[in-house]
Amino acid sequence: MQSDAAVHVVDDDVAVRKSLAFLLASEGLPVRLHESASAFLDGALGQEEGCIVTDVRMPGIDGIELIRRLKARSIMLPVIVMTGHADVPMAVEAMKEGAVDFLEKPFGDEVFIAAVRSALARQERNSHHGQQVAEIQGRFDALSQRERQVLDGLVAGKANKVIAYDLGISPRTVEIYRANVMAKMHAKSLSELVRLALMIATR
């Protein structure tokens, strides 16, 4: 887990907040408590690591609306919703909105901790992937216009001769551009180059 990743507990019930904080701390997990979704959102700027545990039913902004507002702000923290038996349909709706899990009260300590650790692992994977894509995008941005044209041809599966014909240059020149693209994109093979190009195309 990343050193500054924290579990954000969002619940209007102070007893629940304190209970979950004690449990998380006993597992060595950093925790931050928020008495409402509004309180979390007010301080959410820059919260890009960790996960959120929230009650699905709260006064004001409920758990579902919290997820929607997080998405609107491009805050991609995994969200676990807690729900009473009568609120299971709301929890299912929350998962459709993007929650990663829901826990039906009362839940055991082990079940809760397992869900939190799974959410944190997911966030760390997503964060690593995002950093990787940003690095690849930076390499792509360093390509010249002609190098990008050659790359487009390669991704489309075109042979050097076809790319040369399309661009009005010689096959030998295409080979030079291709070598430059491979070097700048840090690709060791054509298949790796295509994979890198597709990663930023689908971000």
Of the listed ranges 20-24, 182-186, 187-191, the least confidently predicted one is 187-191
Looking at the chain, the whole-number percentage of residues with pLDDT higher than 70 is 95
Contact in structure between 12 and 55 (CB atoms under 8 Å): yes
Contact in structure between 51 and 32 (CB atoms under 8 Å): no
Rounded to an integer, the average pLDDT of 84-96 is 82
Contact in structure between 120 and 112 (CB atoms under 8 Å): no
Contact in structure between 7 and 22 (CB atoms under 8 Å): no
Q: Which domains does the chain have, with CATH numbers?
A: 6-130 (3.40.50.2300), 142-201 (1.10.10.10)
On the question of pLDDT at 95 being above 50, the answer is yes
pLDDT at position 105, please?
87
Tens of pLDDT, residue by residue over 151-162, are 999 988 899 999
φ, ψ at 32 (rounded to 5°): -130, 135
pLDDT at position 63, please?
92
Rounded to an integer, the average pLDDT of 117-135 is 84
Rounded to an integer, the average pLDDT of 170-189 is 94
Tens of pLDDT, residue by residue over 51-82, are 999 999 999 999 999 999 998 888 889 999 99
Rounded to an integer, the average pLDDT of 48-53 is 86
144: tokens are 């010249």
Residue 48: pLDDT band with limits 50, 70, 90: low
φ, ψ at 79 (rounded to 5°): -120, 125
